[in-house]
Amino acid sequence: MNKTNQESYSAYAVMENHLHWIAVGPQLGKRVGEFKSFTATAIVKELQRQHSKTLLQELKHFKLRHRTDQTHQFWQEGSHPQIIESDEVMWQKIEYIHNNPLRRGYVDDPLAWRYSSARNYASQHGLIDVCTDWR
């Protein structure tokens, strides 16, 4: 698989309690941390705006004690990066990601899950642009 010097996203699926994401780029660990920080802050602010007290209390309850720089815990700490070293493995990962909503029983067709890159790979408009020509 070709590696590029620019950051790009090749596949994703946002689920109700986790995210699958294939990305390439320099300082990827740092970028994942920035993504998690940005999205957690934005989501907590939106929950506060909507006065979602119960969910905010849960996020506050699950905050890790050693995290003194935040009042809520949205994302689980850490990530599970895996190097994808062949086109075959890349396709397996993409298929796994796109079929996740189907396996969970949320849709009958991966293309019906709006919050994934499955539509991009079917030459349809997706919510986020992804690099489908990563070979």
Q: 135 falls in which pLDDT band (50, 70, 90)? A: low
Quote the domain boundaries for residue 45.
8-121
pLDDT of residue 75: 84
Instruction: Give start and end residues of each alpha helix (H) in 50-125.
Output: 53-61, 87-103, 118-121
Q: Among 44-48, 65-69, 75-79, 103-107, which stretch is predicted with the lowest mean pLDDT?
A: 65-69
pTM exceeds 0.75, yes or no: no
Of residues 59 and 29, which shows the higher confidence score?
Answer: 59
Structural domain includes residue 66: yes
pLDDT of residue 64: 72
DSSP 56: H
SS3 assignment, position 74 = coil
CATH number assigned to the domain comprising residue 88: 3.30.70.1290
Nearest to 12 by CA among 98, 114, 124: 98
Contact at 8 Å (CB) between 11 and 98? yes
Nearest to 36 by CA among 74, 87, 69: 74
Structural domain includes residue 17: yes
Mean pLDDT of the chain: 86
